[in-house]
Structure 1
Amino acid sequence: MHGKDFDIRISTTHRIRFTRDAFSVQNRMLIDLLETNGHAKVIVFIDSGVADAFPVLEARVNDYLERMPGFVSRGTVVQTGGEFCKRDADTLQTAWDTIEQAGIDRHSYVICIGGGAYLDVIGLAAATAHRGIRFVRFPTTTLAQDDSGVGVKNGINAYGKKNFLGTFAVPYAVVNDFVFLHGQPEIDRRAGIVEAVKVALVKDAAFFHWIEDHCDKLTQLHPHTLEETVERSALLHASHIAYGGDPFETGSSRPLDFGHWAAHKMEQLTDFELSHADAVGVGVALDTIYSWKTGRLDETSAMRIL
């Protein structure tokens, strides 16, 4: 038996951007971010929950697309998001059908505006159509802007398991638009902060101390404090993915999953009635207690975290 091993190295850029009111005609961020061959097609998928919260969003997006020089608009599509869409095969199938009917190819862009679950589904559609179409994420929740939306994973639930079907695919770009951040219901704005606490615990002690110092303002959802929390968390997550040595999780060391082994199981056991943010909050508490009880963390530090 004989053969030869080939070392195939792939380099890709993970673009993270922060802006405000991205679809204002005065905001050129998206125009400057996307590359075009002079006639690149763009289609935008919008989470219905976001469309309901921002009634003029779809019209503004369509107007912006028509004004983008060197691009061809293929319009917008509004679908039901939330955890339901990850269990509904029709959401993924409709996305594939729409991409095919709109003539979207590998020189095109699929843009998705929505929460983490909807980004997962449309991300899977973009990653598998034509074996990969350039995908731009617009996360709209705190949880998605400070964690899942800046990641490189997508997927749907299957066989009773969370994210059983999916891929690793680095998006062309992630755009955190703070207009969406502040447009959420208060409970969602607050819930997603847990992912910032998690990444601070495992990657940046100074950030954890900063969160402690600004706890009162975060409790009040002070806009600037919330934005800084989201931005620092997003960059820490992206930095680990890019420079942590295992972006596609082929090994067993997964620090960003602190608190998540229990969280995913609790979501599954409750048929996903328990939100991811609430499950992670419980999971971080459990992992903190385990760390303390096994001698890896002192009691004083554990109580600070809890």
Structure 2
Amino acid sequence: MKRRIEQSFAVPYTYPVIFSENIFNVGDPTLAELLDNGKGGKAYFVIDSGVLEKHPGLVDQIKSYADAYQAQFKLCAEPLIVPGGEASKNDPQYYEKVVEATHLYGIDRHSYIVAVGGGAVLDMVGFAAAISHRGIRLIRIPTTVLSQNDSAVGVKNGINSFGKKNYLGTFAPPYAVLNDFNFLKTLDNRDWRSGISEAIKVALIKDVDFFEWIEENASALANREMEPMQELIVRCAQMHLDHIAGKDPFEMGSSRPLDFGHWAAHKMEHLSGYEIRHGEAVSIGIALDSTYSFLKGMITSAELDRIIAVISSLGFQLYHPVLSGEMLLKGLEEFREHLGGQLTIMLLAKLGKGQEVHEMDQKLILEAVEKLKSFQSHRLIAN
């Protein structure tokens, strides 16, 4: 006897992405309303150590806020402090501490884990929340440009393993995302600039008007003017959300257009021992794939010049020594493996329009690397 039963269902996901300031001010009930499950929500905070260094009073501020809204939620334990950056994703002890806390403090599926920090910490905490009780409500409070305009608004979580970025991970939408622009004021220049690369990325493959806006505002962004940065973050976040709401939010296929510039970026991060920040690696990856697109005859010399000029004017490097050598090329196979199928790389058909390809010429990749090295040398001479 042979029988077959098929199951098909759809699950809607809705979560708010809120842009605000001073979210822990007791006069602002936004966070308390998110943490109120109708019977006194239980909240567990995990905080990026780098954020705490810049905001030493943050833990006391969170406790005062909880005291003011104790009818809505309560803190179930002292906040957990974890290292910022890729260190939190490279060492499994940190996600294990979050998982252990869910056991020790009775954090269940109707409780909340609140992650405060940069994208790496949010990735790690999100992974721990997703695998505990098959999914605990996660509220992300991103504190960097990169996390506010890109990583925190999406559905991905993960940690690094086997020397590969995000090898272990989940697709699990957050319960809410709460951006506080005030955290950006204390970023160092590298972290302020780093997240702009994700805006360049999405503009180049989806919206030429946005790319031209970045061109026009590059000087203001580089000079840390808050108003254009807020506009960039909101606009970039909206474009990422629009993409996620499209046909393949959980990346069941091999097409990942928002990973333009990322196949090389992920490899550069690893080869540098994560000395290169993610956004810095993405900017070089964008420059590399744009140069490759030019060498393939897909975009014009004038278009490439505009891309290189924008990346340079924002203060990004165009080349790093880890680009040289055969190790970079291994990133292509690792990226294909990460996709789980056919190699699919996003290149440029023109400014504002991406085009996917399924193979890349390794000789042209190395030629593109040499051109970036030349671009960087000429920039140094000019300065």
Q: TM-score range by the shorter chain?
A: over 0.9
- Which residue of the other structure, out of 133, 136, 147, is the alignment partner of 1:133? 136
> Is 1:13 matched with 2:14?
yes
Query: C-alpha separation between the residues in 1 aligned to 2:5 and 2:251?
Result: 26
Q: Which moved more, 1:72-81 or 1:139-148?
A: 72-81
The residue number in structure 2 matching 1:55 is: 56
User: 1:157 Cα shift?
Assistant: 0.7
The residue number in structure 1 matching 2:198 is: 195
User: 1:2 Cα shift?
Assistant: 2.1
Q: Which moved more, 1:60-69 or 1:107-116?
A: 60-69
* TM-score w.r.t. length of structure 2: 0.77
User: 1:271 Cα shift?
Assistant: 2.5
The code of the aligned residue for 1:294 comes to K
> Is 1:23 matched with 2:10?
no
The residue number in structure 2 matching 1:66 is: 67
- Indicate the structure whose relative CO is greater, using CA pairs within 8 Å and at least 6 residues apart: 1
Query: C-alpha separation between the residues in 2 aligned to 1:37 and 1:3?
Result: 43
* TM-score w.r.t. length of structure 1: 0.96
SS at match of 1:21: coil
The residue number in structure 1 matching 2:272 is: 270
User: 1:15 Cα shift?
Assistant: 1.7
> Is 1:292 matched with 2:301?
no
Q: Over residues 71-130 of structure 1, what are the superposed CA-to-partner deviations in whole Å (9 max), with x where a residue is unaligned?
A: 222242222221111111111111111122111100111000011111111111110110
Aligned pair count reads 305
In structure 2, runs of 5+ residues without a counterpart are 309-383
Query: C-alpha separation between the residues in 2 aligned to 1:169 and 1:9?
Result: 15
1:66–1:73 CA contact under 8 A, matched in 2 = no
Which residues in structure 2 correspond to 1:93-242 (within 5 Å)? 93-242=96-245
Query: C-alpha separation between the residues in 1 aligned to 2:41 and 2:9?
Result: 29
The code of the aligned residue for 1:102 comes to Y
Query: C-alpha separation between the residues in 1 aligned to 2:185 and 2:112?
Result: 26
Query: C-alpha separation between the residues in 1 aligned to 2:212 and 2:84?
Result: 35
2:195–2:279 CA contact under 8 A, matched in 1 = yes
The code of the aligned residue for 2:122 comes to L
SS at match of 1:63: helix
Query: C-alpha separation between the residues in 1 aligned to 2:82 and 2:64?
Result: 19
Query: C-alpha separation between the residues in 2 aligned to 1:144 and 1:40?
Result: 26
Which residues in structure 2 correspond to 1:73-92 (within 5 Å)? 73-75=75-77, 76-92=79-95
SS at match of 1:155: strand
2:36–2:72 CA contact under 8 A, matched in 1 = no
The code of the aligned residue for 1:255 comes to P
2:146–2:194 CA contact under 8 A, matched in 1 = yes
2:202–2:236 CA contact under 8 A, matched in 1 = yes
Structure 1 vs Structure 2: percent identity of aligned residues?
A: 46
2:35–2:41 CA contact under 8 A, matched in 1 = no
The code of the aligned residue for 2:289 comes to D
Query: C-alpha separation between the residues in 1 aligned to 2:5 and 2:80?
Result: 47
Structure 1 residues 70 and 219: CA distance shift in structure 2, 3 A: closer
Query: C-alpha separation between the residues in 2 aligned to 1:65 and 1:131?
Result: 27
User: 1:191 Cα shift?
Assistant: 1.8
The code of the aligned residue for 2:33 comes to D
> Is 1:261 matched with 2:263?
yes
Which residues in structure 2 correspond to 1:33-48 (within 5 Å)? 33-48=34-49
1:218–1:226 CA contact under 8 A, matched in 2 = yes
2:156–2:173 CA contact under 8 A, matched in 1 = yes
Query: C-alpha separation between the residues in 2 aligned to 1:39 and 1:21?
Result: 23
User: 1:293 Cα shift?
Assistant: 1.9
- Which residue of the other structure, out of 288, 303, 306, is the alignment partner of 1:304? 306
2:129–2:135 CA contact under 8 A, matched in 1 = yes
Query: C-alpha separation between the residues in 1 aligned to 2:303 and 2:283?
Result: 17
Query: C-alpha separation between the residues in 2 aligned to 1:186 and 1:290?
Result: 29
User: 1:273 Cα shift?
Assistant: 2.2
1:119–1:154 CA contact under 8 A, matched in 2 = yes
Query: C-alpha separation between the residues in 1 aligned to 2:168 and 2:73?
Result: 32
> Is 1:249 matched with 2:251?
yes
The code of the aligned residue for 2:40 comes to H
Structure 1 residues 14 and 239: CA distance shift in structure 2, 3 A: farther
User: 1:35 Cα shift?
Assistant: 4.4
User: 1:143 Cα shift?
Assistant: 1.1
Q: Which has the larger radius of gyration?
A: 2
Q: Which moved more, 1:72-81 or 1:176-185?
A: 72-81
